[in-house]
Amino acid sequence: MSNNEQTLSIIKPDAVERNLENEIKDMFKKKGFLIVKEKKIQIEKSEAEKFYKVHETKPFYSDLCDYLSSGPIVVMVLEKENAVLSNRELMGATNPKDAREGTIRKKYGISIDKNSVHGSDSTENAKIEIDFFFND
Ligand code: CMP
């Protein structure tokens, strides 16, 4: 039985700025993901604050929201079996210093803030995050 699932992925400003969009998309495609929706946008800080609301009590919240709204990002809906988990494996640890060889953050991440990609952390949040960016 197929267990196809969708997850939300964001290519963050540090990666878009370095023209890594196609390299990162190739890594998703090689792992078997279909990119079923995508758009390149720049968001306001107020929208970043809504998106990252789960982190609002964290000390890094304001910087994180400044950062996500600092330049163009690519938001994508990725589809695959067990997409949420599979994407988290492919992204690697939040801090690129801890990310394993072969992961996106190991290859392209600069720091814990400029870690090149975001991915939903659960199927429940995937639905919420997909709806946040693709609600039309
Ligand atoms: P992301 O997967 O987009 O989710 C929240 C982001 O907060 C995370 O990636 C990091 O880029 C950023 N961040 C900054 N500082 C921290 C921290 N100390 N712990 C976790 N995430 C952090």
- Is 48 part of a structural domain of the chain? no
Strand partners for 16: none
* pLDDT at residue number 121: 97
Q: What is the pLDDT of residues 67-99, one digit of tens each?
A: 999 999 999 999 999 999 999 999 999 999 999
List b or e across 85-113, with b for residues whose CB sees 16 or more CB atoms inside 10 angstroms: bbbbebbbbeebeebeeebbbbbbbeeee
- Is 50 part of a structural domain of the chain? no
* pLDDT at residue number 135: 87
The CATH number of whichever domain residue 17 belongs to comes to 3.30.70.141
Nearest CA to ligand 1 atom 14: 113
For residue 46, give the 3-state DSSP assignment: helix
- Is 63 part of a structural domain of the chain? no
- Is 54 part of a structural domain of the chain? no
Ramachandran region, residue 22 (left: φ > 0; alpha: ψ -120 to 50; beta: rest): alpha
- Is 61 part of a structural domain of the chain? no
Domain count, the chain: 1
- Is 56 part of a structural domain of the chain? no
- Report residue 1's pLDDT band, with 50, 70 and 90 as the boundaries: low
pTM above the 0.85 mark?
yes
Which residue of the set 13, 118, 120, 133 is catalytic? Answer: 118
What's the CA-to-centroid distance between 109 and ligand 1, angstroms?
12
Instruction: List the domain range (segments joined by +) for residue 85.
Output: 4-43+72-133
- Is 52 part of a structural domain of the chain? no
Contact 87/120 with Cβ under 8 angstroms? yes
For residue 92, give the 3-state DSSP assignment: coil
- Is 100 part of a structural domain of the chain? yes
| % of the chain with per-residue pLDDT over 90 | 96
Q: What is the pLDDT of residues 33-71, one digit of tens each?
A: 999 999 999 999 999 999 999 999 999 999 999 999 999
118 belongs to the catalytic site: yes
For residue 112 and ligand 1, the question of a CB distance below 6 A is answered with yes
